[in-house]
C-alpha cells in the first residue's frame, strides 16, 4: 500500500471517531504527516524502506517528544514541551515511523480505566459508554478504531494489558530492562517498562524489536538477542501452561468461562495444562504492588514543586509556592497516592509497610521465577468486563482490584502478553500469559497459536 493513501485513510478514521473517543491529547499537523508519508513513499520506491517505514504510531503522552507537548495526562505539565526525545522515540523515527500524536492516559499513568486524565476520559470504541482500560487508554482506543497502526504504552502494573483486554488488542510488557526508560516520565521506576501495543502479537513483536536493547542513558537497560528461537515454528505440543486456579477464581463468571474455554481448546490441540497453586500469593499481591508503586510515586512526584514545570505557585516562599502549585496541578487520585506513598515511607511506619512489601515482593518473584521455568502462567487479563464510565471511579479499592493478574509480572520483572480470545455482547475478553525472563518470542509464539 501507498503510505500517502494509508495516512489519508487513518486521518479519515480519526475524523470519524476521535471526537467521541478522545484517544489523543495532541495530534501532529496533517501537513507534517502527509509530508512524512511522501518521504516514506519515496523510500519504498527506491528500495530503501526501513523497518517501520510509513507505519503510523501513537505514543503515550508520558513518553517525551521534543516536537509535541508531553503532559502525562496532568494539568501540572499542560503545554510542557521536553527539550529531548525519549530513546524509544528516537528509535521509532530512525526506522521510518510516522508519529501521529500523543495518546491519552490516566494522570501520571496512575489508574486502570483512563478516567483520571486531566484532559477528559477516553471512551472505548467497542462501546462508547465504557472505559477502554488504563492507564494507556488512548493507545488501546486509537488501535481499536484505526487511528494508528501500532502504539506505545507504559506498563507499571498492567497499563498496556488492561487496555489490550478491553479493546481486543495486544499488549506486550517486556522483561524489566529490555526497553530504555530514558524519557519516560516516571511513576514507579522499579516496576515499569515502555511497552508495545498492536492489533496482533506479531506487530507488537516487530515494534519491540525496534525499541528494545541497551541504551547508554538507562543504566538498567539490557541487551535483546536478535530474532531466533521460538519465532514462527512453535506448535501447540511445544507449549505448557500453568493455571493458578486460586487466582483465576477472582474473575467474574463470564471472564472465567472464556478463559477456561480457551485453555481447553489449547489442550485439545496438544498443549499441556497444569493446575497450580501460587502458595497464597493471591491475597497479598495487590497490597504489595500498591505499597511499592505508591512509595516510588511519592518520591518521583516530589520534583513538581512549582519551580520548574508549567504550573507554578505565585508566593515568594518556596514551601508555599510548592503547595500552591501542587494543589492546582495534581488531580485527586494523584494526591491520594502521594499521601499514601509518603505514609508507607515515613519514620515509624516504613518497616511495617514499605520494607514488609519489599520482602513480600521477593517471595512473589521467587514463586513466579520458579513457575515460569516450566510453563507459561495463564490467567485472564482482567477479572471483569470493561466497566461503564463512572462505574468504578469513586472506589479506589475496586479500581485497584482490577490489576490482580497484571501486577504479578511487574513485581517479578517478567515479560507478559495480553491478547483477545472472545467477544461477548460486543465486549472483548482477553487473557494473559507470563513467561520466563527474556521469553518475549516464546510468548508471541504462543499468542500466535491462540490468535
Chain residues in the site for ligand GLN (CB under 6 A): 109-112, 135, 154-159, 187, 293, 403
Q: Which of 40, 60, 117, 154 is catalytic?
A: 60
Q: Which of 112, 136, 139, 159 is catalytic?
A: 159
Reduced to 3 states, what is the DSSP secondary structure of residue 159?
coil
CB burial string 196-234: b at 16+ within 10 A, e below: bbbbbbbbbbbbbbbbbbebeebeebbebeeeeebeeeb
Q: Are 160 and 172 in contact, with CB atoms under 8 Å apart?
A: yes
Q: Which long-range contacts (CB under 8 A, 24 or more apart) does 28-31 make?
A: 28/67, 28/68, 28/99, 28/100, 28/101
60 tagged catalytic? yes
135 tagged catalytic? yes
Q: Which is nearer to ligand GLN, 111 or 445 (CB)?
A: 111
Q: Which is nearer to ligand GLN, 173 or 441 (CB)?
A: 173
- Furthest C-alpha separation in the chain: 70
Q: Which helix (H) or strand (E) segment is 107 a member of?
A: none
- Residue ranges of alpha helices (H) inside 279-428 are 285-300, 318-329, 332-345, 356-372, 396-401, 407-412
Please report how close the Cβ of residue 112 comes to ligand GLN at its closest, in angstroms: 4
Residue 346 to residue 358: CA distance in whole angstroms: 15
Please report how close the Cβ of residue 273 comes to ligand GLN at its closest, in angstroms: 28
Q: Which of 64, 74, 112, 135 is catalytic?
A: 135
Please report how close the Cβ of residue 133 comes to ligand GLN at its closest, in angstroms: 9
382 tagged catalytic? no
Please report how close the Cβ of residue 287 comes to ligand GLN at its closest, in angstroms: 13
Q: Are 55 and 149 in contact, with CB atoms under 8 Å apart?
A: yes
Q: Which is nearer to ligand GLN, 82 or 133 (CB)?
A: 133
Q: Which is nearer to ligand GLN, 154 or 367 (CB)?
A: 154
**Other beta carbons less than 10 A from residue 70's beta carbon:** 25
Reduced to 3 states, what is the DSSP secondary structure of residue 257?
helix
Strands, E assignment, 237-278? 240-244, 272-276
Please report how close the Cβ of residue 367 comes to ligand GLN at its closest, in angstroms: 21
Q: Which is nearer to ligand GLN, 11 or 185 (CB)?
A: 185
Please report how close the Cβ of residue 330 comes to ligand GLN at its closest, in angstroms: 15
Reduced to 3 states, what is the DSSP secondary structure of residue 274?
strand
Q: Which is nearer to ligand GLN, 295 or 325 (CB)?
A: 295
Q: Which is nearer to ligand GLN, 37 or 297 (CB)?
A: 297
Grid coordinates given for 220: 538498567
First to last CA, the chain: 24
* Chain length of the chain: 451
Q: Are 418 and 377 in contact, with CB atoms under 8 Å apart?
A: no
Please report how close the Cβ of residue 101 comes to ligand GLN at its closest, in angstroms: 20
> Which positions are annotated as active-site residues?
60, 135, 159
Amino acid at each position: 500500500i501507498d503510505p500517502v493513501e494509508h495516512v489519508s485513510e487513518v486521518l479519515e478514521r480519526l475524523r470519524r471517531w476521535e471526537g467521541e473517543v478522545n484517544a489523543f491529547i495532541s495530534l501532529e499537523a496533517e501537513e507534517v504527516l502527509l509530508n512524512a508519508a511522501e518521504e516514506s513513499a519515496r523510500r519504498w520506491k527506491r528500495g530503501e524502506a526501513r523497518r517501520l517505514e510509513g507505519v503510523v504510531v501513537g505514543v503515550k503522552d508520558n513518553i517525551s517528544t521534543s516536537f509535541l507537548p508531553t503532559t502525562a495526562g496532568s494539568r501540572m505539565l499542560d503545554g510542557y514541551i521536553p527539550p529531548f526525545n525519549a530513546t524509544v522515540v528516537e528509535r521509532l523515527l530512525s526506522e521510518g515511523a510516522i508519529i501521529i500524536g500523543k495518546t491519552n492516559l490516566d494522570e501520571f499513568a496512575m489508574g486502570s480505566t483512563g478516567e483520571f486524565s486531566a484532559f477528559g476520559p477516553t471512551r472505548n470504541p467497542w462501546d462508547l459508554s465504557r472505559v477502554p482500560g488504563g492507564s494507556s487508554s488512548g493507545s488501546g482506543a486509537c488501535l481499536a478504531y484505526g487511528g494508528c497502526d501500532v502504539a506505545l504504552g507504559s506498563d507499571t502494573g498492567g497499563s498496556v494489558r488492561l487496555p489490550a483486554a478491553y479493546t481486543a488488542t495486544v499488549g506486550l510488557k517486556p522483561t524489566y530492562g529490555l526497553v530504555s526508560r530514558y524519557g519516560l516520565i516516571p511513576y514507579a521506576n522499579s516496576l515499569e517498562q515502555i511497552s508495545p501495543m498492536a492489533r496482533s502479537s506479531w506487530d507488537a513483536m516487530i515494534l519491540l524489536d525496534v525499541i528494545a536493547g541497551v541504551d547508554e542513558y538507562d543504566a538498567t537497560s539490557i541487551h535483546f538477542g536478535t530474532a531466533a528461537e521460538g519465532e514462527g515454528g512453535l506448535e501447540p505440543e511445544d507449549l505448557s501452561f500453568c493455571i493458578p486456579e486460586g487466582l483465576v477464581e477472582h474473575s467474574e463468571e463470564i471472564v472465567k468461562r472464556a478463559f477456561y474455554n480457551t485453555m481447553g481448546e489449547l489442550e485439545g490441540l496438544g498443549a499441556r495444562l497444569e493446575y497450580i497453586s501460587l502458595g497464597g500469593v493471591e491475597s497479598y499481591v495487590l497490597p504489595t504492588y500498591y505499597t511499592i508503586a505508591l512509595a516510588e510515586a511519592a518520591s518521583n512526584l516530589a520534583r513538581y514543586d512549582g519551580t520548574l514545570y508549567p504550573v507554578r505557585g505565585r508566593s515568594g516562599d518556596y514551601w508555599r509556592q510548592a503547595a500552591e502549585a501542587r494543589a492546582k496541578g495534581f488531580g485527586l487520585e494523584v494526591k491520594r497516592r502521594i499521601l499514601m506513598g509518603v505514609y508507607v515511607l515515613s519514620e515509624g511506619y516504613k518497616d511495617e509497610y514499605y520494607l514488609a512489601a519489599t520482602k513480600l515482593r521477593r517471595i512473589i518473584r521467587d514463586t513466579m521465577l520458579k513457575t515460569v521455568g516450566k510453563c507459561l502462567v495463564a490467567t485472564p487479563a482482567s477479572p471483569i468486563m470493561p466497566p461503564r464510565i463512572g462505574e468504578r471511579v469513586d472506589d479506589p479499592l475496586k479500581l485497584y482490584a482490577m490489576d490482580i493478574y497484571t501486577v504479578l509480572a511487574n513485581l517479578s520483572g517478567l515479560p507478559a502478553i495480553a491478547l483477545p480470545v472472545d467477544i461477548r455482547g460486543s465486549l472483548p475478553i482477553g487473557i494473559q500469559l507470563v513467561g520466563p525472563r527474556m521469553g518475549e518470542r516464546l510468548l508471541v509464539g504462543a499468542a500466535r497459536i491462540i490468535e
